[in-house]
Structure 1
Amino acid sequence: MARAPKPLPPPTDDERRRAGEAAQALRAAIADPSTMGAKSVAHVDLARPRRGKWWESWANLTGFHRINGKTGRYIHELLPGWSYIQREIRAEMIPDLEALAERGERPTEDTSGRAA
């Protein structure tokens, strides 16, 4: 029987501040992609199971990563355990970051309504 994941501690004031900044930076990048900054790409080889992943990040979007290109998933270090597809960035990731910044709330349900 699998155990439920350990709940995360309440967010710190610093995490809440960074979440607000991240939401603003993502909104700005959607409006004007030139604000993203320089892109960095890394390939990570995983031993078990044997596969690799491409991680992309941008200088002005701290904590935001794209895994395996445009058809892959997007993650943010302030939202551990969650990943988003491209169309969910504006609809879900940014509101999740704003809820973390404004109310200290971490996401608990995905769009389909399944609890985390």
Structure 2
Amino acid sequence: MSEILLVLTTLPDADSAAALGARLVEERLAACVNILAPCASVYRWQGRVETATEVPLLIKTSAARYAALETAILAEHPYELPEIVAVPVQRGLPGYLDWVSTETAPG
């Protein structure tokens, strides 16, 4: 089984989140993308405190596919500097982790 990652990003709206999620799964860069409910984000950007409504995505992928996944997110993401954070999955249901690995294998 390959190393599995949970990748987090946010998009400005549901349509862009759905489009990116579909692309990532169709291209086998992600086994699954959860599109969560919109949330309020507060952050500092270019010296000012900003607020925005964003749509979080939870992306399950393999470490082997991370570079291609990051490239795909950057290609479609409307933000100048998008959040892309990858967290290694330390434990999980073995069958599920195997499924993520299988679904993200280049085909």
Classify the TM-score, shorter chain. under 0.3
Report the TM-score, using the length of structure 1 for normalisation: 0.26
Which of the pair is proportionally richer in strand? 2
